């Protein structure tokens, strides 16, 4: 292990004690960029890495709201404005009970490189709150979003920071967040993305992350002389990202045979296709568990309660649920299943140990910061649409999304090849993203 990199990992651990998710992403990225640092001692001299691992600004605030029973509720809100070297901070907002500084910092750090990979002018940021939207009434969700934005609005803006959705923040929450922003800022602009099309949102933004993942996975297959049509695929989760992924996989002729929910997983050898995808979307929108009701509706499907889908044999795995879904023991099952490809859909769904095992056992690995960048790329296109007071068609968006995903794949593959690492998309994505950020930071002086 290089001492250059290790000293920065140690700094990150010391300065952010107990923040295991943040440590995990810093370790992953810094190990990959080690050869770039060896080639560029001027980066070390300029303190570039110490600056990169320290957020430019962190906003932590109380969110006070009143529930339906009239009780005062207090949550904690966050916005980490991590790096603005190549553009205004851009990144999602996560509402989940386990949200804490470590989770938001890992997401914000990832976002810096992801956004750089898109080739668009957006810096990295992330926000959220330890608020659980499950089981809340519509009125409670609205009051929470309004209270959250009442503090946040002063820290965001088209040239400063533009939040969007993430886990627990979908179209409804974005509507309430934007409505409150507009009310108190008295500005109708691109400070929030992921809006509904009718009030400035981008055609195709909803499915962009999932479609982008499949375009990226398709590039991985093609680069290895394989085709998507006929491939057996296992996914996890059934949120917005999984929905877009499954829809595009189905369109390209791949067969999704398993997916998971909080209650376990479904094995449907006949394939999750056509009408079944629509039924799943309806189940998801009902806010209840999805697997057990799916198995009731489609008796050919088998429900494995409380289990993860990684034991199912497939050609391609796309974990779309959340961080650290695939541990070493799951990676061992995937390798034993004879799989060839794994493409991350969620943010950091594999532990570093799992990634090492998968890659050293011949699995072709697609890292999330490259594969799921289609969502934020389309958010940036939405910003451009709003700033230009115009509307882009669905065809324009899909074409641009596809080009961006192909270019992310190609630039990641090229960066790895440039450093003699072969077809290593994990290292390549980190290197390609880092090079852009580093160049911009060097040009802007010690700030």
Catalytic residues: 126
Return the residues of window 37-66 that contact ligand GLU according to CB under 6 A. Answer: none
Contact between 193 and ligand GLU by CB under 6 A: the answer reads yes
Which residue's CB atom is positioned nearest to ligand GLU? 92
Contact between 81 and ligand GLU by CB under 6 A: the answer reads no
Q: Nearer Cβ to ligand GLU, position 29 or 339?
A: 29
Q: Nearer Cβ to ligand GLU, position 8 or 106?
A: 106
Closest CA to 372 of 217, 161, 229: 217
**Residue for token digits 């600004």?**
57
Contact between 91 and ligand GLU by CB under 6 A: the answer reads yes
Instruction: From 24-32, 45-53, 90-98, 143-151, give the range in contact with ligand GLU by CB under 6 A.
Output: 90-98
Q: For ligand GLU, which residue of 79, 90, 136, 231 counts as binding (CB under 6 A)? A: 90
CB of 232 to ligand GLU, least distance (A): 27
Q: Nearer Cβ to ligand GLU, position 101 or 345?
A: 345
Count of beta carbons in the 10 Å neighbourhood of residue 40: 17
Q: Nearer Cβ to ligand GLU, position 168 or 293?
A: 168
Q: Which residues, other chains included, contact 255 with Cβ-Cβ below 8 Å and sequence gap of 6+?
A: 230, 231, 232, 233, 271, 273
Instruction: From 15-23, 245-253, 371-379, 403-411, give the range in contact with ligand GLU by CB under 6 A.
Output: 371-379
Q: Which residues, other chains included, contact 122 with Cβ-Cβ below 8 Å and sequence gap of 6+?
A: 86, 87, 88, 89, 90, 115, 376, 380
CB of 351 to ligand GLU, least distance (A): 18
Instruction: From 26-34, 48-56, 89-97, 222-230, give the range in contact with ligand GLU by CB under 6 A.
Output: 89-97
Contact between 347 and ligand GLU by CB under 6 A: the answer reads yes
Integer Rg of the chain from CA: 21
Instruction: From 153-161, 220-228, 287-295, 372-380, give the range in contact with ligand GLU by CB under 6 A.
Output: 372-380
Instruction: From 1-9, 85-93, 146-154, 211-219, give the range in contact with ligand GLU by CB under 6 A.
Output: 85-93
Closest CA to 401 of 430, 369, 378: 378
Count of beta carbons in the 10 Å neighbourhood of residue 306: 8
Q: Nearer Cβ to ligand GLU, position 166 or 263?
A: 166
Q: Nearer Cβ to ligand GLU, position 194 or 428?
A: 194
Contact between 92 and ligand GLU by CB under 6 A: the answer reads yes
Q: Which residues, other chains included, contact 434 with Cβ-Cβ below 8 Å and sequence gap of 6+?
A: 29, 32, 33, 36, 113, 116
Contact between 379 and ligand GLU by CB under 6 A: the answer reads yes
Long-range contacts at 188-192 (CB < 8 A, ≥ 24 apart): 189/157, 189/158, 189/386, 189/387, 190/158, 190/162, 190/382, 190/383, 190/384, 190/385, 190/386, 190/387, 191/153, 191/156, 191/157, 191/158, 191/161, 191/162, 191/163, 192/156, 192/162, 192/163, 192/164
CA pair distance 208, 260, nearest whole angstrom: 21
Q: Nearer Cβ to ligand GLU, position 255 or 284?
A: 284
CB of 379 to ligand GLU, least distance (A): 3
Q: For ligand GLU, which residue of 363, 376, 416, 441 counts as binding (CB under 6 A)? A: 376
CA pair distance 304, 307, nearest whole angstrom: 6
Return the residues of window 297-336 that contact ligand GLU according to CB under 6 A. Answer: none
Q: Nearer Cβ to ligand GLU, position 19 or 166?
A: 166
Residue 162-191 contact track with ligand GLU, rule CB under 6 A, x = bound = --x-x-------------------------
Q: For ligand GLU, which residue of 201, 293, 319, 375 counts as binding (CB under 6 A)? A: 375
Instruction: From 87-95, 250-258, 329-337, 431-439, give the range in contact with ligand GLU by CB under 6 A.
Output: 87-95
CB of 218 to ligand GLU, least distance (A): 20
**Buried-exposed string 266-292: b where 16+ CB fall within 10 A, e elsewhere:** bbbeebbbeebbebbbebbeeeeebbb
Total residues at interface with ligand GLU (CB under 6 A): 11
Chain contacts with ligand GLU (rule: CB under 6 A): 90-92, 164, 166, 193-194, 347, 375-376, 379
């Amino acid at each position: 292990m290089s001492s250059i990199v290790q000293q920065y990992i140690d700094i990150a651990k010391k300065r952010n004690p107990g923040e295991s998710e943040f440590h995990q992403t810093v370790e992953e990225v810094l190990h990959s960029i080690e050869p770039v640092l060896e080639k560029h001692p001027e980066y070390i001299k300029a303190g570039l890495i110490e600056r990169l691992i320290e957020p430019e600004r962190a906003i932590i605030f109380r969110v006070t709201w009143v529930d339906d029973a009239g009780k005062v509720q207090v949550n904690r809100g966050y916005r980490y404005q991590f790096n603005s070297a190549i553009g205004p901070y851009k990144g999602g907002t996560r509402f989940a009970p386990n949200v804490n500084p470590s989770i938001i910092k890992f997401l914000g750090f990832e976002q810096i490189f992801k956004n750089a990979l898109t080739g668009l002018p957006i810096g990295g940021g992330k926000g959220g709150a330890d608020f659980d939207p499950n089981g809340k009434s519509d009125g409670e969700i609205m009051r929470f979003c309004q209270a959250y934005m009442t503090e946040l609005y002063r820290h965001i803006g088209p040239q400063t920071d533009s939040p969007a959705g993430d886990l627990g923040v979908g179209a409804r929450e974005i509507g309430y967040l934007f409505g409150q922003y507009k009310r108190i800022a008295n500005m109708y602009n691109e400070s929030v993305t992921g809006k509904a099309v009718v009030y400035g949102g981008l055609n195709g933004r909803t499915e962009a992350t999932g479609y982008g993942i499949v375009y990226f996975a398709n590039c991985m297959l093609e680069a290895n002389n394989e085709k998507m049509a006929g491939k057996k695929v296992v996914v996890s989760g059934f949120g917005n990202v999984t929905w877009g992924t499954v829809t595009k996989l189905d369109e390209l002729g791949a067969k999704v045979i398993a997916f998971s929910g909080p209650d376990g997983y479904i094995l449907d050898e006949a394939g999750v296709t056509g009408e079944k995808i629509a039924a799943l979307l309806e189940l998801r929108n009902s806010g209840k568990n999805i697997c057990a009701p799916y198995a009731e509706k489609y008796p050919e499907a088998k429900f494995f309660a409380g289990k993860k889908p990684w034991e199912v044999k497939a050609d391609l795995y796309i974990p779309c649920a959340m961080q650290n879904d695939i541990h070493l023991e799951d990676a061992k099952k995937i390798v034993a299943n004879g799989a060839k490809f794994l493409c991350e859909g969620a943010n950091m769904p594999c532990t570093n140990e799992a990634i090492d095992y998968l890659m050293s056992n011949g699995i072709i690995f697609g890292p999330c910061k490259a594969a799921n960048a289609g969502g934020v790329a389309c958010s940036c296109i939405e910003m451009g649409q709003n700033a230009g007071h115009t509307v882009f068609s669905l065809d324009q968006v899909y074409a641009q999304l596809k080009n961006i995903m192909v270019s992310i794949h190609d630039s990641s593959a090229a960066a790895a090849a440039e450093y003699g690492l072969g077809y290593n998309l994990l290292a390549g994505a980190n290197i390609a993203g880092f090079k852009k950020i580093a160049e911009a930071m060097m040009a802007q002086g010690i700030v």
